[in-house]
Amino acid sequence: MFDTAAKYLRHNYLQYGDKKVAMRVKDMGIWQSYTWKDYYEKAKYFSLGLISLGLEHGDKVAILGENKPEWYWAELAAGAAGAVVTGIFVDCLPTEVKYYVENSESKFVVAHDQEQVDKFLNPYKDREGNEHPPLKEELPLLKKVIFWDSKGILGYEGIPIGDYDDPILMSFEQVLELGKEYEKVHPGSFEENIEKTSGEDIGLFMYTSGTTGLPKAAMMQNRTSQLTNKAWDYIDKWSANEQYVSFLPPAWVTEQGLGIGANLLTGMEVNFPEEPETVLENIREIGPGILFWGPANWENVSRMIQAKIIDTSPLRRLLYHICLPIGYKVGDLRLAAKRVGWFWQFLYWLANMVVFRALKDKVGLSKVRIAYSAGSAISPDIFRYFQALGVKLKQLYGSTEMGLVTIHPDDDVRPETCGPLMPGYECRLDSDGEIMVRSEMLFAGYYKKPEATKEKYRGDWYTSGDFGHIDEHGHLICIDRMDHLKELRGGRKFSPQFAEIRLRFSPYIKGALVVGSEDRDFVTTIINTDIENVGRWAEARRIPYTTFSDLSQKPEVIKLVEGEIRRVNRSLPEWNRIKKFVNLHKEFDADDAELTRTRKLRRDFIEERYGYLIEALYGDKAELQVEAPITYRDGRTGTIITSVKVNTVE
């Protein structure tokens, strides 16, 4: 085993060369392939090009873009030079980009396209509407912004267009050419640099999700990343013949392990979608054996399938409703590690031939060998649903700081748990039920925040901030964040997340914030309806509407959502059931700071922003006028003024 990613890259280059595809990307409707030799040479010359521009060991390089080969090449190039890589989410606003680049002290930014480059060249407004000069003027350490998609930036024969004739800009190809020239003067330097890379060095800054404040840069040692990847491979036995589609942001630690890490460790092929909008289509084309979706992705696909079933012909709908109980029966037997008799095996084979096989093919799940979910809790309803369809879904537990703590083995999958501990981890619970872990695979601390690092430890045990317990089978059950557990008047506690993940199983509910406190007698919720599915439902019933806001307040839609809440209430204790709700007039949005960039609720912020709605839920008003700010992708702000109805669950 090697202790750095760069050493794995060299190993794969020497082993496979031009004989094996390392990655492919769909461009202009055609899949373009890159061998391990291509991967190695792109990383090599980009690394040497950066060095010729002044990159030194320990410097920081930020990458801002969609999932493309260039992200991988740039990351491995920087790592081979001993630099630290900071990933930035592609949909970050200029203020957020500034924070990441400034906080990490990055000297170089590798950016995707014109949209990302514009964030550095154009004046912008912050969320309060204050004017700011271009980021290039606010980041004195920044030397170069290097773009890989030149459309709209370079014109004929590579000549910059208009304002893009800026000394801070360089194209990816220009840096590669600099690297080739550098090698002529310094032959063998790239190979020497790889040898110098150390497992003890910091290789990545992985920023926390920032649910309770500004994100912090978790420092990841090269050795730690490789140990985690090796332990994961030990459990799931990845293969060089696997296909994987990379669409989760590489700024998220999970994609670092499963995309970049697994590709280097095993030689599996990584495929990049043409556009974010074509992910499902490209997944279906590739038919990956390994698939990782966050809970929101699994929820979206579940809602999409259920909505399509509602819209399909009566015969197909009947067949689906006949076959699904068979799927649940066999899926539950498999999850319980019980024998599936020949009668049920035959019925399941028939259900698969008639319904499940075509259904899975439609969403690209037909060849999935292992499917993962992580990032936050997933509803057991979602878990059982995909198991019923024949998708071997596993849940993981971990975090940026902890790494991958638990995983389900193939023969021990339980919907309500996150699985047993990974090799190399110890876990215990404190007196309050907080999950604490110990391992050599933990992060190396927060960058320039020693006090924040110290606060996360009790002795050598890392405190996760998560509430849970360990069952009799040794599986970890994570219930909710410690600071998200709520208490109603009278002292009874409840987990908002427990109800939220079950609400999101509905095809008509995209998001929910469940609310309650020690000075309240009952639980309420703010609902985000799914505009696509609810829109189709409304159109099928000839219910006219104009906007998201208008549709969300239709009496028929309110009744629809009430029915979904009643369904969830049946699985909740009497005192924990949702009594009142509002359909929010807009979606929760990361650009409005309501979600993190990994799409987790910023609970405290939302409760403060919509405090007036929460007060109305506990008052006697049946309707209220709301005025809410919204933030567009280009930084502009606006305001929504509308009426929101307060509804009681009968």
Residue with tokens 């690394």: 47
Residue 181 lies in a domain: yes
In a domain, 186, yes or no: yes
Model confidence, pTM? 0.82
Q: Which of 136, 166, 197 is the last residue of a domain?
A: 197
Per DSSP, the three-state class of 207 is strand
Using the 3D structure, point to which of 197, 214, 238 is the last residue of a domain: 197
The total number of structural domains in the chain stands at: 2
| Distance separating alpha carbons of residues 3 and 376, to the nearest angstrom | 29
AA letter at 609: R
Q: Percentage of the chain surpassing pLDDT 90?
A: 63
Q: Per residue in 209-231, is it b (16+ CB within 10 Å) or e — as a string?
A: bbbeeebbbbbbbbbbbbbbbbb
Residue 635 clears pLDDT 60, i.e. is over it = no
Is there a domain that residue 354 lies in?
Answer: no
Reported as a single tens digit per residue, the pLDDT across 273-326 is 999 889 888 998 999 999 998 888 888 888 888 888 888 888 999 999 999 999
| Euclidean distance between CA atoms 6 and 81, whole angstroms | 9
145: tokens are: 């912004």
Residues of the domain holding 180 = 5-197
Return the CATH number at 564. Answer: 3.30.300.30
Phi, psi at residue 128, to the nearest 5°?
-90, 0
Residue 211: predicted pLDDT = 60
Q: In this predicted model, what pLDDT tens digit does every residue of 197-213 receive, in sequence order?
A: 999 999 999 998 766 66
DSSP H helical segments within 17-124, as ranges? 36-52, 69-80, 94-104, 114-121
For residues 631-648, average pLDDT: 74
The pLDDT of residue 574 is 83
Last residue of a domain, one of 156, 171, 197: 197
Please tell me the distance from the alpha carbon of residue 242 to that of residue 22, in angstroms, as a whole number: 11
Q: Give the per-residue pLDDT at 99.
A: 96
Distance (Å, whole) CA 116 – CA 99 = 15
pLDDT at 480: 81
User: How many CB atoms within 10 Å of residue 122?
Assistant: 16
Q: What distance in Å separates the CA atoms of residue 320 and residue 93, rounded to the nearest whole number? A: 43
Task: Determine, yes or no, domain membership for 326.
Answer: no
CA distance 466 to 32: 43
pLDDT band with cut points at 50, 70 and 90 for residue 328: very high
How far is residue 38 from each of residues 8, 270, 398, 571, measured CA to CA in Å? 15, 14, 33, 54
pLDDT for residue 21: 97
Q: Give the count of beta carbons closer than 10 Å to the beta carbon of residue 56.
A: 11
CA quadruple 369, 374, 379, 380: dihedral sign = positive
Q: What is the pLDDT of residue 629?
A: 62
Structural domain includes residue 554: yes
28 belongs to a structural domain: yes
Phi, psi of 474 (to 5 degrees): 85, 15
Q: Quick one: which of 375, 418, 376, 377 has its CA closest to 394?
A: 418
Residue 280 lies in a domain: no
Kindly report the backbone phi and psi dihedral angles of residue 446, in degrees, each rounded to the nearest multiple of 5, phi listed first.
-90, 135
- Which long-range CB contacts under 8 A does 636-640 form with residues at least 24 apart? 636/125, 637/125, 637/127, 637/129, 640/549, 640/585, 640/586
CATH code (residue 99): 3.40.50.12780
Beta bridge partners of 629: 639
Q: Which of 57-71, 200-214, 410-424 has the highest mean pLDDT?
A: 57-71
Q: Across the chain, what does the average pLDDT equal? A: 91
245 belongs to a structural domain: no
pLDDT in tens, 351-391: 999 999 998 988 889 899 999 988 777 778 888 899 999 99
